Amino acid sequence: MKSSGGLATAISPDAQDARTFRTWQGITLALLITGYAGYYLCRSNLSVCLPMIIEGMVHGGMDPATARIRLGSIASLGVLAYAIGKFPSGTLADFLGGRAGSALRSHPCGAVPSAQPGTAPSAKSRDTETLC
């Protein structure tokens, strides 16, 4: 195609490929940042909610010291599991590639809490006093 000035207005295939590549790079980067931000937000919420969780456990009849020890143990085991999980997760990402590895790592994060008995949200737990 030529414009009235004689300049070619068609985009060359190389320029189109470069533009598509840059677009997909931007999308991938945005998704990685969004995914990690969501992970980090959920991870940092525990420290904010711990006082309220301890209060609920004490209200349920547990000794405050025992409640702190149990929740501290859970948090410590979570960090340990995160550190240990880095090794198989890295190997899996190398084997499957970033996209498939990320999808496989993210899926259990939503499935595990919903699979535990008694953790499904109820109508009672939706008021603002019981939510963190």
Q: Which residues contact 19 (CB under 8 A, 6 or more apart)?
A: 11
Total-model pTM: 0.47
Give the pLDDT mean for 89-105.
Answer: 73
64 in Cβ contact with 54 (< 8 Å): yes
Cα gap 88→90, rounded to integer Å = 5
Q: In the chain, what are the domain boundaries?
A: 13-112
String of b and e for 6-19 (b: at least 16 CB within 10 Å)? eeeeeeeeeeeeee
Q: What is the pLDDT of residues 12-43, one digit of tens each?
A: 668 788 889 999 999 989 988 888 887 777 66
39-80 confidence digits (pLDDT tens): 777 667 777 888 999 999 999 999 999 999 999 898 888 888
Evaluate if residue 131 carries a pLDDT over 90.
no
Best CA proximity match to 106, nearest among 49, 46, 37:
37
